[in-house]
Amino acid sequence: MALIRLILAAAFAVLTPALASASVPALGINYGEVADNLPPPQAAASLLRALNATKVKLYDADARVLTAFAGSGADFTIGVPDRLVPRFAADPSAAAAWVRSNILPHIPATSITAVTVGNEVLSGEDATMLRSLLPAMEALHAALAACNLTSRVSVTTPHSLAVLSSSFPPSSAAFRREILPYMSPLLGFLAKTGAPFLINAYPYFAYKADPTGVDLGYVLFEPSATAGVEDEATGLHYNNMLHAQVDAVRAAICKANYGKGLEIRVSETGWPSEGDDDEAGAMPENAARYNGNLMRMVAEGKGTPAAPGEPLVVYVFALFNEDQKPGPASERHYGLFKPDGSPAYDVGVKSPAIGGWKGSGGGGGGGNGTSSGGAGLVVAQGPGGADGVGPGTGYYTVSAAAGNKVIN
């Protein structure tokens, strides 16, 4: 545990504002709210300051959170929930109304730098969602252009690794044939607008599926404990699985002829600190090792073997344990912190006291989840406006999303 504390303390310590100003990549954190016991956003802001995390990703456009972070300097990625994707595609005025309700009231006091449209839509099987994704993104981009915000706010969408037909060796990866009619024009949109390609990548699921066959050191960023793997086609050596997964996405993008000028960001990755009996590796020690080593890698500005000169932007999942998430126990234990602000495991930093609040209804995600069309997708309707375009909370279960296949 002493080694774990040193790893994590080093990771957090280097992520200071002074270093951030010196072009060291900033740490990103996913701030999920699918819980009924979370502290108010002001308390979350204190925890993020303790982490020196300057990039925050939401799954909605929670006005309470955006207001609480006004003047903080944190860069926010906010989300359009899945339920609004077909609406935006069919009615661009709905996208314009959403921008007026969810972005304009908060800028420039709160820095909003990106909007995600849906979550892992192309991994699903809902034909309407598949057809609607790009038109919805285009409608939102047009709404931002009408407000002269496209130079400040990009439009993108996160994908799971299930969009790949294969992933190893990385150089052999390609997008699934059936989604290419949707993926290819989407890549063109990202390239044209300068928006990043977002991938949710969880080496944990590969280890969970085959704990005897997958090297734990390889998935936990511990090169001294693993021989790593080599891509014989390129000669590139990989000493951790996350880099191999990212370069698999890079190869797939190149095969689709949009390899240049398209940044890849890891929009989610993490490790659960607790799980069910059949969830191998879900324990505090492994979570500390994974997230600690990951944060140190981000702080060092390391790129992947295929793009060593491009520091990898990563968003850790997640800030809090979320007690209302469905699925196996691991779903509710990805947080760096418990709802009372105490560390879920030893993260090597002293978290500020955030007491003095009542833990009922503190989260914006609620527990009134309803099934949605995409495979492995769960949507909580959340507090939407009367016209259907107000703030709403979309979320999904990472275990279900990864269930289509295990990506090595």
Catalytic residues: 120, 268
Amino acid found at 345: Y
Sheet architecture: strand order including 28-30: 154-156, 111-117, 75-80, 55-57, 28-30, 314-317, 264-269, 197-200, 158-160
Closest CA to 280 of 212, 188, 354, 357: 212
User: For residues 369 and 81, what is the distance between their CA atoms, to the nearest angstrom?
Assistant: 13
Cβ burial of 340 (10 Å; 0-12, 13-18, 19+) is: middle
Closest CA to 8 of 59, 60, 56, 51: 51
Closest CA to 120 of 154, 161, 176: 161
User: For residues 213 and 222, what is the distance between their CA atoms, to the nearest angstrom?
Assistant: 17
Closest CA to 32 of 284, 347, 317: 317
Closest CA to 64 of 45, 81, 91: 45
Residues 287 and 220 sit within 8 Å (Cβ to Cβ): no
User: For residues 164 and 277, what is the distance between their CA atoms, to the nearest angstrom?
Assistant: 29
Q: What is the CA radius of gyration of the chain?
A: 20
Closest CA to 294 of 243, 334, 250, 346: 243
User: For residues 272 and 333, what is the distance between their CA atoms, to the nearest angstrom?
Assistant: 5
DSSP labels for 51-67? HT--EEE-SS--HHHHH
Q: For residue 268, which phi and psi values (nearest 5 degrees)?
A: -150, 135
The neighbouring-strand residues paired with 199 are 159, 266
Residue with the two structure tokens 């989260």: 363
User: For residues 181 and 1, what is the distance between their CA atoms, to the nearest angstrom?
Assistant: 49
